[in-house]
């Protein structure tokens, strides 16, 4: 196309600023630029909504491109095609002349082709003596070459948007199926919860799905359904965990962790000893099982002191008082490794170490909080230290701790027998607090 050349339509067809802009754009083709006409046509088909053309208009463009003599569009090979209406109609699947003119106008308005009309409106080409085309009148495909990069970019974006819509629809379908079946399972299993309200919320989300939707329309609905599904799954998982805990506790009721009939590590009725009697029992190397049974039969007293922390802890659980820290560390030397700097010098250090050990043993935060409430924080930390010392004999530390907490609340558990059994096991050479 000649630089600076402007062509106007033949006859009564008006000139528009869009046509002028398309002609100016066609002059910006980079030298040496070329494109496969059929790859470019496929990109136009992909980007059709963004380009604002109809499928029938693309049928006409397809027919026009068949008149281009080469597979690649380039300036060197010319950019004008000049088929007659009759030939163009045949290659456009028999489209009527009136329909053909209408869709040609759509292609011109979309900036995909240009008209280069002759003085009499006919389409033809003048050839030189060698048969080469000197000048041609018809339709120019120069805009296709000038906009090739833009068209390819629009096509890639259209493909990405279509893929995103497909993935979003699939995820939404799976999410809808999951929610529907999870609610049905919850109702069938009798899981407690406001399932009627959840079902109503689910139906409201379904009603908001448009019949013809874009990825942008579905994305917020998918997020809301994902949150609803996550909440339902959490409710069902809590029910499963509760069943497991109940099963573990039931197992603990029938089978103690230590199956040795001679062991003194079994749970015993609640008791407290006087400080003098406890110290005598701890310091007497000849004290045996009979002495321990005698101590257990003593009536609980409220005057036990704490070697490391002073008086008995007022926050201890019902019927329990804290034992001297030195005794706890003598019975449970393994807890020392988890104290600040590998040392435990006070109750605060022991409770900090217990939190670390609790996580290591797989005891849930809720189980440990219940133990602190039921036994008192010092005694809960002491029990964690004992469980650590006997870890190889305890299958479920979390379930065991919950069982001890419930027994404490019923007045059926005392820490004393656990500590004394561990003191005898570890012997007089066990580590002490520094």
Residue 420's CB is within 10 A of a number of other CB atoms, namely: 23
Asked if 138 and 68 touch (Cβ cutoff 8 Å), the reply is: no
Asked if 384 and 364 touch (Cβ cutoff 8 Å), the reply is: no
* Concatenated DSSP letters of 195-214: HHHHHHHHHHHHHTS-SS--
Cβ neighbors of 48 (< 8 A, separation 6 or more) are: 54, 55, 58
Q: What percent of the chain has pLDDT over 90?
A: 29
Model pLDDT, residue 11:
53
Element (H, E) at 72: strand 72-74
Helices marked H in 208-324: 215-254, 275-283, 289-296
Model pLDDT, residue 320:
60
Assess whether pLDDT exceeds 50 at residue 78. Answer: yes
The dihedral over CA atoms of 68, 73, 78, 81, expressed in degrees to the nearest 10, equals 30
Segment 96-131, tens digit of pLDDT: 989 998 999 899 888 898 888 777 667 767 776 666
The dihedral over CA atoms of 254, 255, 259, 262, expressed in degrees to the nearest 10, equals -30
Listed range (226-230, 266-270, 311-315, 399-403) with the worst mean pLDDT: 266-270
Residue 366's CB is within 10 A of a number of other CB atoms, namely: 12
Residue 92 DSSP one-character state = T
Domain residue ranges in the chain: 17-152, 163-240, 325-426
Whether the predicted model's global pTM rises above the 0.85 cut:
no
d(CA 399, CA 388) in angstroms, rounded, equals: 14
Segment 208-234, tens digit of pLDDT: 999 888 999 999 999 999 999 998 998
Model pLDDT, residue 304:
33
d(CA 186, CA 200) in angstroms, rounded, equals: 15
Model pLDDT, residue 317:
47
Would you call 160 helix, strand, or coil by DSSP?
helix
Model pLDDT, residue 386:
92
Model pLDDT, residue 298:
36
- Is 17-152 in CATH node 1.10.155? no
For the chain, the first-to-last Cα distance in angstroms comes to 96
Q: How confident is the model at residue 309 (pLDDT cuts 50, 70, 90)?
A: very low
Residue 157's CB is within 10 A of a number of other CB atoms, namely: 13
Segment 152-201, tens digit of pLDDT: 999 999 999 999 999 999 999 999 999 999 999 999 888 888 888 899 99
């Amino acid at each position: 196309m000649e630089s600076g050349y402007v062509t106007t339509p033949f006859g009564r067809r008006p000139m528009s600023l869009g046509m002028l802009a398309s002609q100016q754009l066609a002059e910006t083709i980079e030298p040496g630029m070329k494109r496969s006409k059929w790859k470019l046509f496929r990109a136009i088909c992909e980007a059709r909504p963004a380009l604002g053309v109809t499928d029938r208009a693309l049928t006409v463009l397809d027919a026009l491109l068949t008149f281009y003599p080469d597979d690649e569009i380039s300036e060197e090979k010319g950019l004008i095609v000049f088929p007659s209406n009759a030939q163009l109609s045949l290659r456009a699947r028999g489209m009527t002349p009136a329909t053909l003119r209408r869709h040609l106008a759509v292609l011109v308005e979309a900036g995909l082709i240009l008209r280069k009309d002759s003085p009499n409106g006919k389409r033809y080409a003048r050839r030189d003596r060698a048969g080469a085309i000197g000048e041609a009148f018809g339709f120019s495909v120069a805009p296709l070459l000038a906009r090739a990069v833009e068209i390819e970019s629009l096509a890639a974006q259209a493909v990405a948007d279509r893929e995103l819509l497909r993935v979003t629809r699939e995820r939404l379908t799976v999410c809808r199926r999951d929610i529907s079946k999870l609610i049905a399972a919850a109702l069938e299993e009798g899981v407690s919860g406001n399932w009627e309200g959840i079902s109503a919320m689910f139906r409201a989300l379904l009603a908001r799905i448009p019949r013809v939707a874009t990825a942008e329309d579905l994305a917020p609905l998918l997020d809301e359904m994902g949150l609803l599904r996550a909440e339902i799954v959490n409710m069902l998982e809590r029910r499963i965990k509760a069943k497991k805990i109940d099963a573990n506790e039931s197992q603990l009721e029938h089978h103690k962790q230590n199956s040795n009939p001679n062991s003194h590590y079994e749970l015993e009725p609640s008791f407290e000893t006087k400080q003098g009697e406890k110290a005598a029992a701890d310091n007497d190397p000849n004290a045996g099982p009979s002495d321990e049974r005698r101590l257990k039969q003593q009536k609980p007293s409220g005057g036990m002191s704490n070697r490391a922390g002073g008086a008995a802890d007022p926050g201890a659980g019902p019927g329990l008082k804290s034992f001297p820290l030195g005794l706890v560390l003598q019975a449970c030397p393994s807890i020392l490794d988890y104290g600040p700097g590998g040392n435990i010098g006070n109750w605060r250090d022991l409770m900090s170490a217990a939190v670390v050990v609790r996580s290591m043993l797989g005891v849930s935060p809720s189980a440990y909080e219940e133990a602190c409430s039921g036994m008192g924080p010092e005694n809960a930390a002491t029990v964690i230290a004992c469980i650590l010392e006997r870890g190889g004999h305890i299958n479920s530390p979390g379930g065991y701790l919950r069982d001890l907490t419930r027994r404490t609340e019923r007045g059926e558990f005392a820490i004393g027998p656990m500590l004394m059994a561990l003191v005898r096991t570890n012997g007089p050479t066990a580590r002490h607090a520094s």
